[in-house]
A and B are shown apart, each in its own frame.
Chain A
Amino acid sequence: MPLLWLVLIVLALAGAGYVLGRQRAMSSAGGDTRHLHSLPVYYGSNVAIFAAMPAFLVLAVWLIAQPLLVDSIVSADIPATAVPEGSTLSLLMSDVRRVADGLDLAISQGTIAADEAKTLRADATDVRALLASVGVALGSDVNETTLSAAQEFRALTGTGSMAMTVVVLALALGGFAYAYSRTNKDFRARNVVERSIRGLLIAAASIAILTTVGIVLSLVFNTVEFFRLYPALDFFFGTTWSPSFGGGSELGVLPLLWGTLYISVIALAVAVPIGLFAAVYLSEYAGAKVRAFAKPLIEVLAGIPTIVYGLFALLTVGPLLVKFFGSGGTFGVDWMSGASSVTTAGLVMGIMLIPFVSSLSDDIINAVPQSMRDGSLGLGATKSETIKQVVLPAALPGIVGAILLAASRAIGETMIVVLGAGAAARLSMNPLEAMTTVTAKIVSQLTGDADFASPEALVAFALGMTLFVMTLGLNVLALYIVRKYREQYE
């Protein structure tokens, strides 16, 4: 693994740099630390940082940029006529990459020699069979265009990797030499080292931004790709969801949105009253002992993984509901045919959300100043009158924020709906019927065997985008409201 070796070499250089830099500084000070500007460790660290940091930075950028560059060069060389009917360039390129990877694998396993791979011809060798023998399955036979593109791909990648190794090593050595030559007793090593550390800290903090950028980019690119294959209007306003991997899918998001909203509403109808009343009771009535006992226990509900709730919905709540509402059930009605339903998922999700509503509301109710309560009690109001007419109205914005956050959770929740809500996308009012949600369909579209370039798989990204925008909107609004509310009482 040459990359691993490269990293290890650079690390070794940095280690050597640390020792040598420290030594040089010490000897320049005649072995007396007091003559040094900074502590000896800083001189060592300085050389180590200069040896490793630029090298790793370039390495990281290179690793990201090279595949993109190679891709664009290779795909530019593929004539438009070579793209078969009903396929796209990107589909072809994914084939090219697979063939190239397969050849790499074949060489590493010794099935063919490195030279042989370069001169392979599609009409002379059955490349598909060759690759299948090393465990790379291809969807179709390899034609000459694909093979030569794959060979070009491999050649470019090889050259690139070679260049990368040279550049990275040169940088590491250069940095080492530069920092080492600067090392003497008057050099302000600490300041330089601290600046680098500060840089690292900033980089770490920026990962949050990078994550968001990553999320947005991966959603946007694939969504755009999807809308190229499937009209956006049909997606947003279509009322039928029936993907078929053979083509001719109808991918309307409305039934999914409906299922999502329906389930979320039921969940909130369970969680908000219970959570709110529990918060009111715990913060206004309960003694210290009850509070210390009940509050953490209710919050345990929030610590239980969602897969547990999913299983609970699928295997316990669903069958129980069927026992009541199914055919031959307690109520003698036949309203429910299977364990999965909107109510099943909604109820269980409601249980999950209770602690979200209650602990957020609890914080918010506690932030209402005691003087408000005193004012009301001093007028002869009962506790409940004080709560209903003074505390809750004062806390209202914060509570609305809390409910919005819970709603955003409900919309984004996956496992409970995957297991409890069912797979059928419908626009129905019956809460005992199985429906499906945006998140459940993201899972089912991306875990199938669909080709990632097909609209049936890409639609998941458009769904993800929809979900992201909805939850982001709710979150931003909720956080804004809560923050404004906090400021009011600070």
Chain B
Amino acid sequence: MYDNPNLERKVAQAESKISARNVQVFYGDTHAIKDVNVEIEARTVTAFIGPSGCGKSTFLRCLNRMNDTIDICRVEGDIELDGENIYDKRVDPVQLRAKVGMVFQKPNPFPKSIYDNIAYGPRIHGLAKNKADLDDIVEKALRRGAIWNEVKDRLHAPGTGLSGGQQQRLCIARAVATEPEVLLMDEPCSALDPIATSQVEELIDELRDQYSVVIVTHSMQQAARVSQKTAFFHLGNLVEYGDTDQIFTNPHDPRTEAYITGRIG
């Protein structure tokens, strides 16, 4: 990524895409996220790292209101997408999720054909005017997902028949097909082998030119490889947030340092 100085500059002066202020999340009586403030920038990969159960996934799911599907979960504070509070009463989570797509830990292709998997989002959101248009969207999404060459001859084969890495790229392509502005990824590589992981990581890096990507990861190396910004969560608190280089080379908080050097986690 260092061979493109223009891009570097762009990152440096990037506009804020999502800004979270004083976010609190409760699961029943448990206070899962405590007073988190964070600005997520456009066209940047932001990594959330931290030990298990630190709340990073929970916070990620707040960003497209996936927590709404859990009855006992309660979110307080403001999260704004392009200056609009996504927890505003007028906001329809369905519309929000079309803008903020999500990729999950375990590849979860629908039990449908590869084509139908990709076309699912565009169809429900009415993005295609006709069949040719839809074909076009599917192809583009598959290309963006860096999987087109592998599946173009078997678009109507079931998506569940692909390998783990292919399935995950299919899921990314599926998320991309709805033209989101932000892509949330919840440990997208944790179920994949190293080769598949590196393919997905490459893909994430490519996606950065168009989307704001937020990735939760267990692996610090992965965070260092793919992200420009890193947020370190610990026990529901956002301990430190800054440029990835800074977090990994010169953490300000002793807890961050302890985690980076492997003493907690």
Contacts and interface: CB of A to CB of B under 8 A. Distances in A.
Interface of A: 287-288, 369, 371-382, 385, 389-390, 393-394
Contacts of A379: 97-98, 101-102, 120-121, 124, 174-175, 178
B120 A389 contact: yes
Interface in B84-116: 94-99, 101-104, 106, 108-112
Contacts of A394: 110-111
Contacts of B13: none
A369 B111 contact: no
B81 interface: no
B258 interface: no
A350 B6 CA distance: 69
A288 B104 contact: no
Given A380-B124, A382-B94, A389-B120, A374 B108 contact: yes
B71 interface: yes
Interface string B172-205: 0011001000001000000000000000000000
A377 B102 CA distance: 9
Interface string B49-81: 000000000000000101001010000000000
Contact of A377 (B95, B97, B103): B97
Contact of B121 (A369, A371, A374, A380): A380
B211 to A, nearest CB: 15
Given A288-B71, A378-B101, A381-B124, A372 B66 contact: no
A380 B69 contact: no
B101 A375 contact: no
B124 A390 contact: no
A378 B66 CA distance: 7
A369 B107 CA distance: 12
Given A393-B112, A394-B110, A375 B178 contact: no
B7 to A, nearest CB: 28
Contacts, number: 73
A378 B125 contact: no
A371 B178 CA distance: 19
Contacts of B138: none
Contacts of A378: 64, 66, 97, 101-104, 175, 184
Which of A373, A380, A389 has the most chain B CB atoms closer than 10 A to its own CB? A380
A288 B178 CA distance: 33
Contact of B66 (A369, A377, A381): A377
A377 B110 contact: no
Interface of B: 64, 66, 69, 71, 94-99, 101-104, 106, 108-112, 120-121, 124-125, 171, 174-175, 178, 184
Given A374-B108, A376-B120, 16 more contacts: A372-B108, A375-B171, A376-B110, A377-B66, A378-B64, A378-B104, A378-B184, A379-B98, A379-B121, A380-B99, A381-B124, A382-B124, A390-B120, A393-B111, A393-B112, A394-B110
A369 B108 contact: yes
A380 B71 contact: no
A372 B110 contact: yes
- What 10 pairs between A and B have smallest CB-CB spacing? A378-B102, A380-B98, A380-B97, A371-B108, A375-B108, A379-B121, A394-B111, A381-B124, A390-B110, A380-B94
Nearest to A397: B111
Contacts of A382: 94, 124
Contacts of A372: 108, 110-111
Which of B99, B102, B111, B121 has the most chain A CB atoms closer than 10 A to its own CB? B111
Contacts of A380: 94-99, 101, 121, 124-125, 178
Contacts of A287: 71
Contacts of B96: 380
A225 B95 CA distance: 71
B110 A371 contact: no
A385 B124 contact: yes
B121 to A, nearest CB: 4
Contacts of A373: 69
Contacts of B111: 372, 393-394
A380 B101 CA distance: 8
A382 B66 CA distance: 12
Nearest to B68: A377
17 contacts: A288-B71, A371-B104, A372-B111, A374-B108, A375-B108, A375-B109, A377-B66, A379-B102, A379-B120, A379-B121, A379-B174, A380-B94, A380-B178, A381-B94, A381-B120, A393-B110, A393-B111
Contacts of B102: 374, 378-379
A397 to B, nearest CB: 10
A83 to B, nearest CB: 66
A447 B227 CA distance: 81
Nearest to A390: B110
Contacts of A390: 110, 120
B168 to A, nearest CB: 11
A375 B104 contact: yes
A180 B125 CA distance: 85
A284 B38 CA distance: 34
Nearest to A371: B108
Nearest to A381: B124
B186 to A, nearest CB: 9
Contacts of B112: 393
Contacts of A381: 94, 120-121, 124
A393 B66 CA distance: 22
B125 to A, nearest CB: 6
Nearest to A378: B102
Nearest to B178: A379
Nearest to A389: B120
